[in-house]
């Protein structure tokens, strides 16, 4: 028997996929674009090459760390659970395969694309050593920390996938474990050191992949001890996954004597009998898709719980009467929660249509007297019904927090006399940030529905939605906004320099930079969201049945027309 046969097969399949090739090309192009932009800045900004090299190294490595840690969410968190839902995992255990064959095969197949993409960034990252400011040990230790973070994230996703059966729950659990691994250990070590009045001593922090990354530019053996602790934890998770796969692939019944609706898990997922009856009577007559998409309630409860926590934290900060600069920290907290909501909306928008195509529900909907517009409108109204109110409360809290953080920024930057310009700019910035966040959520929902009709699974639909709607446009908008802002301000600066030529005049003209940059960035973001919403609506309304046909009839049999029978040869009469 071939050693690790699943590994060999999965590697051959993954090596022949086009996205394996294009993903590393895209990663290299992004890194090359950022590196080229920094090299162009050396000719326009009064910074040394060494300083730009350090900034470029930090930007590329932090972006690579975010990509490496998110690999487990999209590549491994649903790889085994998908096989469970399809019912194909049990066939593998009819052979003499073991759990480690399946786990290692899935791990290597899913990690090939992400590892190649990370590997493509390293040559561009090495240019910073030539620019100066980055040493060779720092470079290689950072590279090793990035590979460790990628392996860590993939192992966590693989472990969660062996225990889960639902793709959305697997993604959420993976995200929660990764967040705990990143922040729980350093936070507890910091609180322990502060309570005892001693210096920071890493104990639980050694198991955090972020701690390994941050310690890559420092001397001592702390980095290597943390790397060793990370690897021990990763291999422990993989060992548990290998042992759990043969024991968790079967679907165990949790029904009580009252039937499936009496089980605790069923009640948590769909609610009690009264709620289900009321929901069916209210929504079924309006739109069957609206009722089907709103049946599960746990997604809405999770968003409500996150919103309540944010509201409680904001109220606690107000009641504690913290110093004004403390509100500047809220910007990072709010952005982190916003990214989690982006992930939740993108996942939920595509999940219903992906599951409907997989289970054959889309075939029943197409057979019913419902058009594509009614089906899409039902899904959109379901998203509004489940998430509109908690997200509106979150946007209100975010508006107030951004307003207070902007006031803190102007209070620290100015001389203490805040004029009406600063107040107006603060209000416009806070309102613009809330408006852009709301527009991003709408665009993610519409584009996520489109990706749900064209993707194989929920994780792939979520990844493509975030990639096309948020990640790629963020790079383009950031570059374009700075370019347009400098293009508008450059004539004003040249006019001020040619006129009075004083430093005060130049400073007054440069004071318009944050105003103009915020306005340009907000307008470009809104234009981007409008474009994606209109594109997704047009595709869904006009091509819904065409996109759903492959899921209904995936195999098309072509019958060749039969050739006409050959004409019989003429009969030659014989002799009389």
The neighbour count for residue 480, using CB atoms within 10 Å, is 14
pLDDT at 570: 61
Least confident stretch, 210-219, 462-471, 490-499: 490-499
The neighbour count for residue 448, using CB atoms within 10 Å, is 30
pLDDT at 258: 43
Dist CA 54 CA 64 (whole Å): 15
Dist CA 504 CA 446 (whole Å): 49
pLDDT at 160: 93
Give, in order, the Cα–Cα distances in Å from 463 to each of 104, 311, 438, 452.
23, 29, 20, 11
Write the pLDDT tens digit of every residue in 252-309. 654 444 444 456 777 777 777 888 888 888 888 888 888 888 888 888 888 898 899 9
Domain spans of the chain, in order of start: 271-551
User: What does the angle CA 379 – CA 82 – CA 238 come to, to the nearest 5 degrees?
Assistant: 135
pLDDT at 154: 93
Dist CA 60 CA 118 (whole Å): 11
Spatial CA neighbour of 419 closest among 332, 511, 333? 511
Write the pLDDT tens digit of every residue in 223-264. 999 999 999 999 999 999 988 888 887 766 544 444 444 567
* 312 pLDDT higher than 50: yes
Least confident stretch, 214-218, 269-273, 386-390: 269-273
102 CB burial (10 A radius; 0-12, 13-18, 19+): buried
**Percentages helix, strand, coil for the chain, rounded to the nearest 5?**
80, 0, 20
* 389 pLDDT higher than 80: yes
The helix or strand, by DSSP H or E, that contains position 342, with its residue range, turns out to be helix 330-359
Tokens of 132: 């100066």
* pLDDT (average), residues 188-207: 86
- Identify the band that residue 147 occupies on the pLDDT scale cut at 50, 70 and 90: very high
- 426: three-class secondary structure by DSSP: helix
User: What does the angle CA 350 – CA 527 – CA 45 come to, to the nearest 5 degrees?
Assistant: 115
pLDDT at 117: 87
pLDDT at 36: 77
* 415 pLDDT higher than 50: no
DSSP alpha helix (H) spans, 215-329: 222-248, 264-270, 273-283, 288-294, 298-319
pLDDT at 428: 82
Dist CA 22 CA 376 (whole Å): 31
Chain mean pLDDT for the chain: 81
* 574 pLDDT higher than 70: no
pLDDT at 425: 76
Who wins on pLDDT, 417 or 140? 140
Give, in order, the Cα–Cα distances in Å from 469 to each of 12, 195, 264, 391, 555.
32, 44, 38, 19, 32
Instruction: Identify the DSSP state of 271.
Output: -
Write the pLDDT tens digit of every residue in 7-61. 777 777 777 777 777 777 888 888 888 777 777 766 665 555 667 778 888 888 9
Dist CA 77 CA 68 (whole Å): 14
Dist CA 66 CA 211 (whole Å): 14
* 137 pLDDT higher than 80: yes
Q: Do the Cβ atoms of 477 and 524 come closer than 8 Å?
A: yes
Residues in the chain: 576
428 CB burial (10 A radius; 0-12, 13-18, 19+): middle
Who wins on pLDDT, 141 or 266? 141
- How many helices (H) and strands (E) the chain has is answered by 22, 0
pLDDT at 518: 80
Tokens of 504: 């005060």
pLDDT at 416: 45
Share of the chain above pLDDT 90, in %: 23
Taking the alpha carbons at both ends of the chain, their separation in whole angstroms is 77
* 198 pLDDT higher than 90: no
pLDDT at 298: 82
**DSSP per-residue string spanning 458-491:** HHHHHHHHHIIIIIHHHHHHHHHHHHHHHHHHHH
* pLDDT (average), residues 174-186: 91
Beta bridge partners of 431: none
* 493 pLDDT higher than 70: no
360 CB burial (10 A radius; 0-12, 13-18, 19+): exposed
Spatial CA neighbour of 463 closest among 11, 23, 159? 23
Write the pLDDT tens digit of every residue in 506-536. 555 555 667 777 888 889 999 999 999 999 9
Beta bridge partners of 256: 259
Spatial CA neighbour of 441 closest among 382, 387, 480? 387
* 175 pLDDT higher than 80: yes
Spatial CA neighbour of 154 closest among 105, 111, 101, 102? 111
pLDDT at 417: 44
Write the pLDDT tens digit of every residue in 343-363. 999 999 988 888 888 888 887
Who wins on pLDDT, 507 or 142? 142
pLDDT at 520: 85
Q: Do the Cβ atoms of 447 and 462 come closer than 8 Å?
A: no
* pLDDT (average), residues 441-457: 91
* 316 pLDDT higher than 50: yes
* 555 pLDDT higher than 50: no
Dist CA 325 CA 419 (whole Å): 19
pLDDT at 43: 65
* pLDDT (average), residues 315-333: 74
* 558 pLDDT higher than 60: no
- 259: three-class secondary structure by DSSP: strand
User: What does the angle CA 47 – CA 49 – CA 54 come to, to the nearest 5 degrees?
Assistant: 95
pLDDT at 103: 86
């Amino acid at each position: 028997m071939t050693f690790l046969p699943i590994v060999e097969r999965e590697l051959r399949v993954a090596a022949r996929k086009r996205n394996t090739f294009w993903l590393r090309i895209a990663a290299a192009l992004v890194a090359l674009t950022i590196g080229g932009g920094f090299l162009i800045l050396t000719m326009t900004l009064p910074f040394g090459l060494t300083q730009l090299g350090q900034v470029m190294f930090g930007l590329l490595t932090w972006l690579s760390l975010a990509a490496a840690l998110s690999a487990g969410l999209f590549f491994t968190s649903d790889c085994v659970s998908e096989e469970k839902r399809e019912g194909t995992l049990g066939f593998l255990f009819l052979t003499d395969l073991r759990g480690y064959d399946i786990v290692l095969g899935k791990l290597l197949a899913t990690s090939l694309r992400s590892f190649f993409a990370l590997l493509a960034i390293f040559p561009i990252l090495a240019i910073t050593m030539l620019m100066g400011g980055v040493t060779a040990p720092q470079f290689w230790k950072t590279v090793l920390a990035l590979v460790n973070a990628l392996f860590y994230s993939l192992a966590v996703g693989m472990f969660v996938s062996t225990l889960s059966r639902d793709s959305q729950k697997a993604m959420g659990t993976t995200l929660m474990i990764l967040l705990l691994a990143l922040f729980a250990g350093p936070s507890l070590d910091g609180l322990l050191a502060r309570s005892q009045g001693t210096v920071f001593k890493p104990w639980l922090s050694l198991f955090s992949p972020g701690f390994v990354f941050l310690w890559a530019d420092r001397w001592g053996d702390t980095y290597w001890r943390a790397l060793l602790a990370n690897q021990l934890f990763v291999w422990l998770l993989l060992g548990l996954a290998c042992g759990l796969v043969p024991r968790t692939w079967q679907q165990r019944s949790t029904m009580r004597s009252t039937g499936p609706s009496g089980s605790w898990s069923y009640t948590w997922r769909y609610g009690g009998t009264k709620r289900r009856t009321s929901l069916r009577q209210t929504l079924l007559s309006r739109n069957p898709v609206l009722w089907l998409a709103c049946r599960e309630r746990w997604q809405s409860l999770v968003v409500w719980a996150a919103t309540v926590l944010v509201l409680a934290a904001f109220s606690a900060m107000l009641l504690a009467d913290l110093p004004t600069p403390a509100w500047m920290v809220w910007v990072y907290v709010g952005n982190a929660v916003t990214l989690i909501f982006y992930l939740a909306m993108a996942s939920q928008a595509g999940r219903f249509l992906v599951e409907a195509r997989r289970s054959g529900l889309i075939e029943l909907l197409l057979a019913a007297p419902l058009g594509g517009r009614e089906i899409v409108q039902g899904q959109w109204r379901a998203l509004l019904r489940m998430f509109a109110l908690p997200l509106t409360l979150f946007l209100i809290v975010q508006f107030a927090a951004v307003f207070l953080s902007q006031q803190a920024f102007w209070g620290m930057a100015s001389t203490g006399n805040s004029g009406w310009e600063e107040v107006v700019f603060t209000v416009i910035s806070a309102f613009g940030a809330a408006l852009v966040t709301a527009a991003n959520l709408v665009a993610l929902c519409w584009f996520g529905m489109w990706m749900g009709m064209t993707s194989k699974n929920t994780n792939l639909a979520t990844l493509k939605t975030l990639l096309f709607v948020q990640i790629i446009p963020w790079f383009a908008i950031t570059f374009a906004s700075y370019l347009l802002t400098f293009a508008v301000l450059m004539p004003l600066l040249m006019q001020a320099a040619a006129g009075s030529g004083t430093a005060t005049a130049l400073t007054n003209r440069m004071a318009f930079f944050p105003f103009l940059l915020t306005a340009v960035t907000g307008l470009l973001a809104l234009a981007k969201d409008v474009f994606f919403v209109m594109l997704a609506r047009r595709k869904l309304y006009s091509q819904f049945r065409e996109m759903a046909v492959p899921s209904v009839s995936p195999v098309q049999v072509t019958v060749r027309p039969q050739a006409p029978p050959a004409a019989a040869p003429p009969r030659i009469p014989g002799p009389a």
